[in-house]
């Protein structure tokens, strides 16, 4: 099962993301745009994982993070990753914080202990992907400099483990587990 671990975002962020995508489209950017219901902050992309391992991983992560203090993440700004002098991925910036970094490192340590492989690029850059760019207009850098995003706070008191099913119309995400820091692990019994 194609799996990832993420933090959910609120409707304010989804609305801002949609507004930003609309601006980018009007500017002439063509991309695989992320649907609002699929937006999240990815902590770990795990790839294909056996279902029995997911159950074990969820229980271990839930136990390790029980009592982790709730915190807020701040969405502020717009950014992109470039590839060969073109924008590759456009996103909303998440301001790095000590709490977010600590959460990431705690989870990373537990995944390594459980020997669950994950996409580990060594440098965690928190962001909310808006789209994967296929075509960009001339003078794209100047256009992107003009994009502003208001500051939005998102409360974080849990994490979610998702499955991702690829389809011709885009990925379909379904939550498998939700873990609250104050305790409590919910499994989606679909």
Task: Report the C-alpha gap between 107 and 142 in whole angstroms.
Answer: 38
Q: How far apart are the first and last CA of the chain?
A: 15
Q: Which residues pair with 160 in a beta bridge?
A: 6, 178
**Which active-site residues does the annotation give?**
40, 127
- 3 Cβ partners below 8 Å, 6+ apart? 46, 47, 48, 49, 54, 161, 162, 163, 164, 176
Q: Which residues pair with 79 in a beta bridge?
A: 91
CB 86 within 8 A of CB 158: no
């Amino acid at each position: 099962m194609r799996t990832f671990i993420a933090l959910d975002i609120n409707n304010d962020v989804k609305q801002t993301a949609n507004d930003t995508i609309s601006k980018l489209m009007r500017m002439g950017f063509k991309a695989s745009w992320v649907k609002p219901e699929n937006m999240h902050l990815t902590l770990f992309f795990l790839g294909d994982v056996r279902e029995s391992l997911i159950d074990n991983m969820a229980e271990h992560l839930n136990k390790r993070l029980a009592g982790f203090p709730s915190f807020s993440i701040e969405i502020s700004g717009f950014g992109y990753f470039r590839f060969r002098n073109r924008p590759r991925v456009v996103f909303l910036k998440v301001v790095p914080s000590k709490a977010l970094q600590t959460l990431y490192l705690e989870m990373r340590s537990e995944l390594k202990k459980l020997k669950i492989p994950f996409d580990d690029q060594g440098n965690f850059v928190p962001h909310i992907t808006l789209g994967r760019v296929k075509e960009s207009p001339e003078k794209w850098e100047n256009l992107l400099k003009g994009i502003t995003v208001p500051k939005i706070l998102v409360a974080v008191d849990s994490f979610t483990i998702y499955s991702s099913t690829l389809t011709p119309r885009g990925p379909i995400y379904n939550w498998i587990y939700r873990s609250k820091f104050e305790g409590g692990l919910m499994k989606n019994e679909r």
